[in-house]
Amino acid sequence: MDPSRTLAKDLPGTVVFDLDGTLVDTAPDLTAALNHALAALGRPPVPAEDVRHMVGHGARRLLERGLAASGETTPDLVEAGVPHFLAFYADHIADGSRPYPGVEAALDALAAAGCRLAICTNKPQALADALVAALGWSGRFAATIGFDAVPRPKPDPAHLAAAVAAAGGDMADLVFVGDSITDTDTARAAGVPVVAVAFGFSDRPVAELGADIVIDDYAGLLPALRQLAA
């Protein structure tokens, strides 16, 4: 954040975002990578719409769910599939992934208001950085913290705290924005407000996530943040 910029009094000082399903619709590329790994293991593909509800807990959990959709899943099968998944995904990180409508306008508005912005994701750090760079977002966030950059990832609140600290923010003046029960559980454990997006990768109805506010699109983000800041 520019030191000369004054934070708008009606917004939180720091806003931290989940990445997949919150800022970016990564389902096309995650689906392609999952199905590549499943094919290497002799399994049939999983439809993209099903993959949307499997994301959010890291590559191994995604592979577990993908394998379970077509039969038996074992730790050995998951471990055998992980290298196929990660290598393919790294090579196709943003073939079909796109920011959700209104994301960049909302990020611009928050930055102009003086908010610190960060990402807290259960993506591996290298892949999170690669996706952010591929989208041309490298200068938008004060910090991006992947699951392997901390001892215990989300829903452990220390992951969120690490993102806030890396951004130079304050846990007492923070709102977290996510799309899944992992995100809302993280926020609750950290004792901070949380906004849930209704269009992400949740494996359950968004109304069941326990968020303070649910938004249907990014036009609703700043009003929601102002409501929570008030």
Count Cβ atoms below 10 Å from residue 44 Cβ, excluding itself. Answer: 11
Which candidate in 2, 18, 25, 76 is catalytic? Answer: 18
Helices (H), the chain: 27-40, 48-51, 59-68, 75-91, 103-112, 125-134, 157-167, 181-190, 221-229
Type and span of the H or E element at 197: strand 194-197
User: DSSP per residue over 4-48, as a string?
Assistant: TPPPPTTS-SEEEE-SBTTTEE-HHHHHHHHHHHHHHTT-----H
Extract the tokens encoding 171. Answer: 């846990």
Extract the tokens encoding 138. Answer: 């490298």
18 is catalytic: yes
Strand order from edge to edge, sheet including 174-178: 143-145, 116-120, 14-17, 174-178, 194-197, 213-215
Q: Tokens 């002799």 label which residue?
A: 42
Give the catalytic positions in this structure. 18
